[in-house]
């Protein structure tokens, strides 16, 4: 459903948020290790998210990535998806057709419209904080063994 970049970005943001909530700043290697994502690819995705002010990057020997309390509570999952993948998930055709619409629908169009609306609603109403607290509580994981 999400691009690989978006999957990595979501996992990385959630890990960074859990650490930021504990007052810690994390380096890219730690993020990659705790989310089972390739370091170079994760660095590129986090650079994009930094440009969109979804997280903060601090340079220097004590640098790393962190999120402010405002970012943790204010960034919605939809913001992350839009920063990395654009609007395609929320408006695109299920089969990837450029001209799919209600007048000229693909075979999945009418079934997919409601699913896409529900997905967008869930992504716009869920914040990083909502998911990070599940990770902290042990109710969800960011990587499997």
Q: What is the pLDDT of residue 57?
A: 95
CATH of the domain at 8: 1.10.10.10
Contacts of 139 (CB under 8 A, 6+ apart): none
Burial label for 87, CB within 10 Å (0-12, 13-18, 19+), is exposed
Pick the closest to residue 77 from 5, 9, 1, 27 (CA basis): 9
pLDDT digits (tens, 9 = 90+) for 68-114: 999 999 999 999 999 999 988 888 888 889 888 889 999 999 988 88
Q: Is residue 46 part of a domain?
A: yes
In a domain, 75, yes or no: yes
Specify if 141 maps to a domain.
no
Expressed as residue numbers, the domain containing 99 is 4-136
Confidence at residue 75, expressed as pLDDT on a 0 to 100 scale: 97
142, part of any domain: no
Total domains in the chain come to 1
* Residue 144 maps to a domain: no
145 within domain boundaries: no
Asked, for residue 114, whether it belongs to a domain, the answer is yes
């Amino acid at each position: 459903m999400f691009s690989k970049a978006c999957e990595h970005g979501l996992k990385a943001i959630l890990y960074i948020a859990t650490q930021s909530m504990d007052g810690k700043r994390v380096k890219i290697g730690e993020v990659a290790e705790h989310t089972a994502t390739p370091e170079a690819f994760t660095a590129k995705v986090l650079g994009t998210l930094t440009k969109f002010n979804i997280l903060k990057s601090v340079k220097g020997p004590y640098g790393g990535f962190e999120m402010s309390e405002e970012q943790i509570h204010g960034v919605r999952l939809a913001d992350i998806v839009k920063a990395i993948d654009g609007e395609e998930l929320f408006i695109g055709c299920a089969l990837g057709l450029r001209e799919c619409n209600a007048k000229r629908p693909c075979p999945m169009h009418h079934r997919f419209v409601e699913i896409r609306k529900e997905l967008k609603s869930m992504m716009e109403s869920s914040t990083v904080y909502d998911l990070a607290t599940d990770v902290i509580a042990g109710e969800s994981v960011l990587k499997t063994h």
